[in-house]
């Protein structure tokens, strides 16, 4: 499992395991093939914009919708194991972001579904981007507070917010206009795009501040996804037509943003689930092992101290017993029957040291001249 080297002081398991030379070559070949297919898909996508822009727009949006719904499915079905609250919160929210993008696709000008107003799609776009940017920013609150999101509460809250947004656009019709035939982009639309870019920039700063909470490759992919989203929003601040060049560029960067999210979470979650789902759990296991080792060391030191105290207590108890002592020379008989000098016996059984002197009575008795 992928570990955080700064926290655990260890190298990632994937780096330790390694691959055989043949497997490495095969992996490189697959990677190049995938890159080639992505390149061909982008070229084909661009050619569709020449033939029919609605087809191009629908394909780009459907890709982002599939990514958003897949992200939700991965997060929801592994919610019992994901220990990173950021990924769990974002994964649930992307279901509703993808839902707004789906309505945006169906309501796009030229689609024969919502025909009473041509620019529902612009309003839905702003609503979805506000929800996405605020979600990516608010999710860091769970990293700072170290709390897990309550999945049902989050699901219910986003359900309510989405219903209110959709109702304000299609039923109440109180959502601000974002585009008109006479003036093009409205001030609300332009200002909103810049506000969304500012929110995403704040999310990038917080992402760098909490990068230790993410596997390194996931961190890089999320960062570039946020950057692509900002570029996409900037492209949508100056287009003059829903079928114009800047609109095309904005959708390409949105496509890149969602592809990077796919690489960061879905592909990593499917191909390397131990790096995404169990990363925090494995970190906790290592911390637990370290704590167990420290407790074992403490217990060993305590056992050594108890043993030392028990030995001292046994010696003290030996001295408290009845000691056979010679009434004349004052020697003490030990357990083996040997007679020892009083000083030697006490030293061996208590560790006490003796210094010899003479008391006043013995001085008067044995050395009367010195008096």
137-149: pLDDT as tens digits: 999 999 888 888 9
63-92: pLDDT as tens digits: 899 989 988 998 888 887 777 788 889 999
Query: How far is 72 from 67, CA to CA, in rounded Å?
Result: 9
Residue 191 sits in the same domain as residue 60: yes
Residue 152 sits in the same domain as residue 241: yes
Question: Which of 255, 277, 299 is the last residue in one of the domains?
Answer: 277
Residue 177 in domain: yes
Residue 263 sits in the same domain as residue 331: no
What's the pLDDT at 168? 97
357, two tokens:
């002197």
Q: How many domains does the chain have?
A: 2
Query: How far is 69 from 316, CA to CA, in rounded Å?
Result: 76
Of 24 and 151, which is predicted with more confidence? 151
Transcribe 169-192 into DSSP letters.
HHTS--SPP-EETTTEE-HHHHHH
Question: Which of 277, 308, 335 is the last residue in one of the domains?
Answer: 277
Query: How far is 211 from 112, CA to CA, in rounded Å?
Result: 45
300-344: pLDDT as tens digits: 888 888 888 877 666 655 555 667 888 778 787 777 777 888 777
Computed on alpha carbons and rounded to an integer, the radius of gyration of the chain in Å comes to 38
Residue 269 sits in the same domain as residue 160: yes
- From the DSSP assignment, how many helices (H) and strands (E) are in the chain? 16, 4
Transcribe 332-358 into DSSP letters.
EE-TTS-EE-HHHHHHHHH--------
Query: How far is 366 from 88, CA to CA, in rounded Å?
Result: 94
Residue 216 in domain: yes
Which domain covers residue 264, as residue numbers? 31-277
Please check the confidence at residue 369 and state whether its pLDDT lies above 90: no
Please check the confidence at residue 13 and state whether its pLDDT lies above 70: no
Residue 250 sits in the same domain as residue 358: no
Residue 26 in domain: no
Residue 67 sits in the same domain as residue 128: yes
Question: Which of 252, 277, 302 is the last residue in one of the domains?
Answer: 277
CATH number at residue 122: 1.20.1070
Residue 303 in domain: no
Query: How far is 93 from 95, CA to CA, in rounded Å?
Result: 5
Residue 45 in domain: yes
Query: How far is 233 from 129, CA to CA, in rounded Å?
Result: 9
Residue 344 sits in the same domain as residue 200: no
Residue 137 sits in the same domain as residue 272: yes
Query: How far is 284 from 81, CA to CA, in rounded Å?
Result: 13
Query: How far is 257 from 254, CA to CA, in rounded Å?
Result: 5
240-299: pLDDT as tens digits: 666 667 788 888 899 899 888 888 777 665 555 555 555 556 667 778 888 888 888 888
Strands (E), 110-214: 179-180, 184-185
């Amino acid at each position: 499992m992928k570990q955080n080297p700064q926290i655990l002081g260890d190298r990632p398991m994937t780096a330790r395991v390694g691959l055989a030379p043949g497997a490495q070559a095969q992996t490189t070949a697959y990677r190049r093939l995938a890159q080639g297919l992505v390149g061909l898909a982008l070229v084909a996508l661009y050619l569709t914009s020449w033939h029919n822009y609605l087809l191009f727009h629908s394909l780009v949006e459907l890709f982002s919708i599939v990514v958003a719904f897949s992200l939700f499915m991965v997060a929801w079905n592994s919610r019992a194991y994901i220990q990173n609250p950021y990924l769990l919160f974002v994964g649930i929210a992307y279901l509703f972001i993808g839902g707004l993008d789906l309505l945006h696709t169906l309501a796009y000008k030229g689609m024969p579904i919502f025909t009473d107003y041509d620019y529902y799609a612009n309003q839905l776009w702003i609503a979805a981007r506000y929800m996405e940017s605020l979600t990516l920013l608010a999710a860091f609150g769970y990293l700072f507070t170290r709390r897990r999101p309550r999945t049902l509460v989050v699901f219910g809250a986003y359900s309510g917010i989405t219903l209110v947004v959709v109702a304000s656009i299609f039923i109440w019709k109180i959502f601000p206009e974002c585009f008109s035939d006479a003036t093009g982009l409205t001030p609300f639309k332009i200002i909103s795009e810049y506000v969304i870019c500012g929110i995403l920039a704040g999310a990038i700063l917080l992402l760098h501040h909490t990068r230790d909470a993410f596997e390194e490759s996931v961190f890089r992919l999320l960062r570039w996804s946020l950057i692509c989203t900002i570029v996409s929003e900037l492209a949508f601040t100056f287009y003059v037509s829903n079928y114009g060049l800047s609109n095309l560029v904005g959708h390409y960067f949105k496509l890149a943003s969602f592809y990077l999210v796919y690489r960061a979470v879905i592909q990593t979650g499917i191909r390397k689930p131990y790096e995404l789902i169990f990363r925090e759990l494995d970190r906790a296991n290592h911390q637990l092992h370290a704590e167990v080792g420290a407790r074992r060391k403490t217990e060993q030191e305590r056992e050594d101290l108890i043993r030392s105290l028990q030995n001292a207590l046994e010696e003290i108890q030996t001295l408290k017993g009845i000691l056979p002592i010679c009434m004349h020379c004052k020697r003490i008989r030990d357990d083996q029957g040997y007679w020892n000098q009083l000083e030697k016996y006490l030293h061996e059984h208590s560790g006490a040291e003796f210094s010899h002197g003479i008391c006043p009575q013995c001085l008067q008795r044995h050395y009367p001249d010195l008096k």
